[in-house]
Amino acid sequence: MTKSISLLALLICALSFGQTAQDSLNNPQNQLNAAQRILSGNYGKAVTVGAYGEITYNQPEGNNGELDVQRMVLLFGYKFNDKTQFVTEVEFEHVEEVFIEQAFVNYAVGDNVSLRGGLMLVPMGIVNEYHEPTTFNGVERPAVDNAIVPTTWREIGVGVTGRFPEASIGYQAYIFNGFKSTENDDGEITGFLKGSNGLRGGRQKAIRSTIDSPTFSTKVEYYGLPGLRLGLSGYFGRTQATDDVDDIDGSSVGVSMVGFDMRYAKRRFTARGQFIYASLTDTEDYNALTSRDLGSALMGYYGEIAYNLLPLNKEQRLFAFARYENFDTHADTSGGLARNDAFNRTDLTTGLSYHIAPGVVVKGDYQFRSNNDSNSDVQDRLNFGIGVWF
């Protein structure tokens, strides 16, 4: 613990030396995720193949550690012509589970506007779209992007994406299917949403997804100031219930989620943060029907600062970072459901990200974890990981 506190103090002291000029290596205005990198040029070839992956070691205080090939994602792109491209990601999780993370066709209507259709990432926050291991600090993704957003959140739909270059504004807008809330399991109604992780259990992952009402998702980003990128996201609609229960009161809930995110870089200094709030309606009826404890509001935020300890003329980068986050899946409740203080959680993560080559990072961090339940014992955790992206 003493070493982690010393690292945080070192980081804070270093910030005063990092704010004199823009860092071209870490400019969030130019940051691309895997799909964008394929679409931006396809490397001049019709077929593109790439991958990213993470191998992690997690050591909770007082328990056995866990080693895991957490994910390996294969990237494929095909360029049919100058206007039409296809992108897909095939993900292997924990060596044994296989998912399709993205699979969509992109049609360029003009220089700054494209139509898309297929399985796509919902544009909410930062990490849901930018989750390649070399694009974020920390062995594990921020907890806010697990319990609140929830990453990796992808849905099937159609939409439009583009830019207004003169105004330095980018935009996305999609019609998607939504979270599954309930189904009939041999005469018993099963609910997929619950208090501890909110909407996460309702992700359909494009596996025979049911839909009875579409949802709307949008994001607007501003990148007109040097080194700064701001995003405002929204997601609105209702959850989905299967045919045999969708006419029962409480089988679905309304979802209105908004998010704000910020990324900034200047020389060796970087910062990022986000705030997510979701309001859920009809949760009292849903909980009565399913015997779940879903809250009527979810809230989470984090702020992170990082400093590259190596000179700017070096290809390698060594970031010392600190991230504070708070997230509550019972930010509010309705009816007679009492708020569970254990669902109001706080993480402080400090560590190092060593980029030994472009596309390869070695990470280590320590997490101080707690919640608002005085009777709960949350374990702090030591993490190490290796990440690649090519």
Amino acid at 338: A
Which of 293-302, 321-330, 370-379 shows the lowest per-residue confidence on average (mean pLDDT)?
Answer: 370-379
Separation of alpha carbons 177 and 172, rounded Å: 16
DSSP-derived letter for residue 3 is H
- State both tokens at 54: 């993470």
Helix (H) or strand (E) segment spanning residue 10: helix 2-14
End-to-end CA distance of the chain: 35
pLDDT of residue 215: 98
Number of structural domains the chain divides into: 1
In contact, 266 and 288? CB cutoff 8 Å: no
**CATH number of the domain enclosing 13:** 2.40.160.10
Residue 12 has pLDDT above 60, yes or no: no
Please, what's the b/e burial string for 35-69 (b: 16 or more CB within 10 A of its CB; e: otherwise)?
Answer: bebbbeebeeeeebebbbbbbbebbbeeeeeeeee
Between these two residues, 40 and 242, which has the higher pLDDT value?
242
Residue 17 has pLDDT above 50, yes or no: no
Separation of alpha carbons 204 and 198, rounded Å: 14
- State both tokens at 286: 């849903």
Q: Residue 44's beta-bridge partner residues?
A: none
Residue 10 has pLDDT above 90, yes or no: no
pLDDT of residue 375: 87
Domain that holds residue 187: 2-389
- State both tokens at 87: 């992108």
Question: What distances in angstroms separate CA 307 from CA 80, 267, 302, one per listed residue?
Answer: 42, 9, 17
Q: Report, as an integer, the average pLDDT of 14-22.
A: 33
pLDDT of residue 41: 66
pLDDT of residue 43: 53
Contacts of 239 by beta carbon, 8 Å cutoff, 6+ apart: 178, 179, 180, 181, 193, 199, 202, 252, 253, 254, 255
Q: Report, as an integer, the average pLDDT of 377-389.
A: 96
Amino acid at 14: A
Q: Is the pTM of this model over 0.85?
A: yes
**How large is the C-alpha radius of gyration of the chain?**
21
pLDDT digit string, tens, across residues 226-250: 999 999 999 999 999 999 899 999 9
CA angle 89, 95, 98 (to 5 degrees): 40
Tokens 């294969």: give the residue. 74
Separation of alpha carbons 61 and 180, rounded Å: 35
pLDDT of residue 18: 33
Separation of alpha carbons 190 and 187, rounded Å: 9
Alpha-helical runs (H) found in 74-160: 144-147
Cis amide linkage into residue 133, ω under 30° from 0: no
Give 107-113's long-range contacts (Cβ < 8 A, gap of 24+).
107/83, 108/82, 108/83, 108/84, 109/83, 110/162, 112/162, 112/163, 112/164, 112/165, 113/160, 113/161, 113/162, 113/163
Residue 4 has pLDDT above 50, yes or no: no
Contacts of 113 by beta carbon, 8 Å cutoff, 6+ apart: 160, 161, 162, 163
Q: Residue 72's beta-bridge partner residues?
A: 53, 92
